[in-house]
Structure 1
Amino acid sequence: MRHVLSVLVENEPGVLSRISGLFSGRGFNLDSLNVAPVLEEGVSLMTIVTSGDQQIIEQIVKQLRKLVTVIKVTDMQDSTTVEREMALIKVNATESNRAEILRIADIFRCKVVDVSLDELTLEVIGDHGKVEAVIALLERFGIKEIARTGTVALRRSMQPEK
């Protein structure tokens, strides 16, 4: 099962290495990882997407909490969250299929960010499912390249903290 972990860490050299080492050393997979500073100086928020059963996730959370540079770990599975991911998708666009690609882009509120005679580059922003759905629909046209950010997430307002 897919889990989104929110990990507040001290923003210092080697933190990313220690956390990714924890995952690789124990054979856990990182589906995506985002790191950025928060409002508080010297602190960053890591959003980690991983998968596993409840026992594996509990072990990951316990191991993360043991690291000195980790301030707080939250498994977002138990909360209602706002999740976003961004993808840039370069797709083959011939004269005959360009209109259909643009209809798909319009339905999913994608932006066309680059155009050439034989390709379109679309920007899609949404939750994981939306990005996956757009990719699935565009595959039949021939996707040339994809760049994805991975997930960022926050607990929705009015949610009790766990």
Structure 2
Amino acid sequence: MKHTLSVLVEDEAGVLTRIAGLFARRGFNIESLAVGPAEQSGISRITMVVPGDDHIIEQLTKQLYKLINVLKVQDITEVPCVERELMLLKVNYNSSTTRSEIIELAQIFRARVVDIGDDSLTIEVVGDPGKMVAIVQVLSRFGIREIARTGKIVLVRESGVNTEFLKTQAPVEARF
């Protein structure tokens, strides 16, 4: 199972290296990593997606707390969250028909064309990880030249509404 960890750290040189080293020493892979300033000056938020069972994640959390600059570690895998990623995708095209088709498909995903070359389009996509997989699948038939993708960023929903749970529910019929 993949777990999402949100880690608050002091914004100092070498913190990320120590955290990555901790994972490497224990033979764990970090599938996604995003780091940036948090709400408080001098604090950074690291969001990681890590494969492993609950026991492994519990051990990693304990090890992270032993690092001096780590302030808070949260496994937010089962917590209602807002998740986003950013992806830039360069797609081949060979005629105006293909170009317009790619642009139409991008619009369906609420993606934006951010650059047009002689034989390629660069598209910006923002959304949840599933959206990223879906647009790559749809556009792969045109030939994907390059992909640059950020790691997942996540914030806990204050409303407590779990949109993943809502997606799995059957629609409620109107009763009159």
Q: Same fold per TM (> 0.5)?
A: yes
* Corresponding position of 2:94: 94
| Superposition pairs of residues 137-156 of structure 1, within 5 angstroms | 137-156=138-157
Name the aligned partner's letter for residue 53 of structure 2. Answer: D
- Paired amino acid for 2:90: K
Which 4+ runs in 1 deviate beyond 4 A?
none
**How far does residue 44 in structure 1 lie from its aligned partner after superposition?**
0.7
Query: Mapping of 1:122-161 within 5 angstroms?
Result: 122-159=123-160
More strand by share: 1
Provide the residue aligned with 2:104 in structure 1.
Answer: 103
Shift of 1:117: 2.1
TM-score, length basis structure 1: 0.93
The residue correspondences of 1:23-42 to structure 2 (distance < 5 A) are 23-42=23-42
CA distance in 2, matches of 1:32, 1:51: 10
The offset of 1:128, in angstroms, is 0.7
* Structure 2 residue aligned with 1:70: 70
Larger Rg: 2
Out of 79-88 and 37-46, give the one that drifted further: 37-46
Q: Distance in 2 between matches of 1:137 and 1:57?
A: 34
2-structure distance, mates of 1:45, 1:31 = 17
Using the TM superposition, give the Cα deviation of residue 13 of structure 1 relative to its aligned residue in structure 2, in angstroms: 1.2
Counterpart code for 1:40: Q
> Partners in 2 of 1:134 and 1:62 — Cα distance?
38
CA deviation digits over 1:116-152, x for unaligned, max 9? 1210000000011111111111111110001111111
Counterpart Cα distance in 2 of 1:100 and 1:158: 39
Q: CA deviation at 1:70?
A: 0.6
RMSD across aligned positions (CA): 1.1
User: 1:7 and 2:7 equivalent?
Assistant: yes
Tell me the residue number matched to 2:56: 56
Gaps of 5+ in 2: 161-176
- Provide structure 1 residue ranges, at least 5 long, that are not aligned to the other structure: none
* Distance in structure 1 (CA, Å) of the matches to 2:9 and 2:66: 12
- 1:74 and 1:150 map into 2 onto residues whose CA distance is 17
- State how far apart, in whole Å, the 2-side matches of 1:31 and 1:63 are: 19
The amino acid of 1:118's aligned partner reads D
